[in-house]
Amino acid sequence: MATTKAVLLAQDLVDRFEDRINRGDMPPGSRFPTEREVTDDFGVSRTVVREAFARLSARGLLVSRRGAGAFVADHAQYRAFQVAPEEVAEIADLLKLLEMRRGFEMEMAELAAQRRSDTDLADMAQALDLMEHSTDVDSSVQADTLFHAAIARATRNDYFVRFTDFLGVRLVPSRRLYLQGSEPKVHQSYARMINRDHRAIYDAILAQNPAAARRAACRHIDKSIDRYAARIEAA
């Protein structure tokens, strides 16, 4: 019975601290209270506190620093979607992200075609122009990010915008990884190819054709998946 109660108390502490982190009350890098502080505040034993801290550490929310104490992990804010920067360091990781992204982008393009405004179209057109004239990887990644962000805003659904903002450039497969070491001409050719896909999505949204927008978004992601899969196979 005592063991069961201790387990429940530890899980209650985990839930309380996780809620504080998710609400932003304990931001990344902030210090956890000491074991003594937790025992005093919550009326539990140190054994319960240590079990709770061990579980928080296993979930990637707590890191211990020798001689300094316990702190909220730097990437705790990514936990809601389980996509931390180090998780997309390899092309195989990007493939997994692309598989998730396919459905998201299809739904987003469909809604954007139904709800877009002239301002949204202008933002997309500007991103297309930036991509067309990009001369390096960083500028094309920025243009790509701006294009998909404009589509998110056109949905008039804040959750699409927040999700896109949260993932940031991790929602856009990293050309830094795919084109590392490539000559400028190779990069420019790749950027123009991506922009053709973007223009197909834009044209469908402009025409207020949800079905066409959905198909264009799906083709765009499927082609990316094929390119990344081919890169893995070649390696």
* Residues 133-171 as b or e (16 or more Cβ within 10 Å = b): ebeebeebbbbbbbbbbbbbbbbebeebbebbeebeebb
Confidence (pLDDT) at 220: 95
Confidence (pLDDT) at 103: 93
Of 12-16, 105-109, 137-141, 226-230, the poorest mean pLDDT is in 137-141
Confidence (pLDDT) at 67: 85
- Examine the domain organization and report whether 118 and 175 are in the same domain: yes
Of 3-7, 58-62, 72-76, 140-144, the poorest mean pLDDT is in 3-7
For residue 43, the Cα-to-chain-centroid distance in whole angstroms is: 38
Confidence (pLDDT) at 38: 95
DSSP-based three-state secondary structure for 162: helix
From 144, 223, 228, 222, select the one nearest 179 (Cα to Cα).
Answer: 228
- Examine the domain organization and report whether 46 and 120 are in the same domain: no
Domain that holds residue 67: 2-78
Confidence (pLDDT) at 180: 56
Greatest pairwise CA separation for the chain in angstroms = 69
Confidence (pLDDT) at 122: 97
- Examine the domain organization and report whether 106 and 140 are in the same domain: yes
Q: Residue 157 is part of a domain; what is its CATH number?
A: 1.20.120.530
Q: Residue 60 is part of a domain; what is its CATH number?
A: 1.10.10.10
Per-residue pLDDT tens digits for 71-80:
999 877 555 5
Per-residue pLDDT tens digits for 176-203:
555 555 567 777 888 899 999 999 999 9
* Average pLDDT, integer, range 104-125: 97
Confidence (pLDDT) at 131: 93
In the predicted structure, residue 2 carries a pLDDT above the cut 50 = no
Confidence (pLDDT) at 172: 58
- Examine the domain organization and report whether 68 and 89 are in the same domain: no
- Examine the domain organization and report whether 65 and 91 are in the same domain: no
Threshold 0.85, pTM exceeds: no
Q: Helix 184-206 to helix 210-234 angle, to the nearest 10 degrees?
A: 160
- Examine the domain organization and report whether 103 and 58 are in the same domain: no
* Domain finish residue from 44, 78, 112: 78
Q: 155 falls in which pLDDT band (50, 70, 90)? A: very high
- Examine the domain organization and report whether 103 and 176 are in the same domain: yes
- Examine the domain organization and report whether 37 and 100 are in the same domain: no
Structurally, the chain folds into a number of domains equal to 2
Per-residue pLDDT tens digits for 205-226:
999 999 999 999 999 999 989 9
Average pLDDT, the chain: 85
- Examine the domain organization and report whether 103 and 169 are in the same domain: yes
Q: 232 falls in which pLDDT band (50, 70, 90)? A: confident
* Domain finish residue from 57, 78, 99: 78
* Domain finish residue from 47, 78, 109: 78
- Examine the domain organization and report whether 99 and 146 are in the same domain: yes
Taking the CA atoms of 198, 203, 209 and 212 in sequence, report the sign of the dihedral they define: negative
Joined tokens for residue 26: 């304990």
Greatest mean pLDDT among 3-7, 19-23, 71-75, 213-217 lies in 213-217
Confidence (pLDDT) at 142: 84
- Examine the domain organization and report whether 144 and 165 are in the same domain: yes
In the predicted structure, residue 109 carries a pLDDT above the cut 90 = yes
DSSP-based three-state secondary structure for 70: strand
- Examine the domain organization and report whether 166 and 68 are in the same domain: no
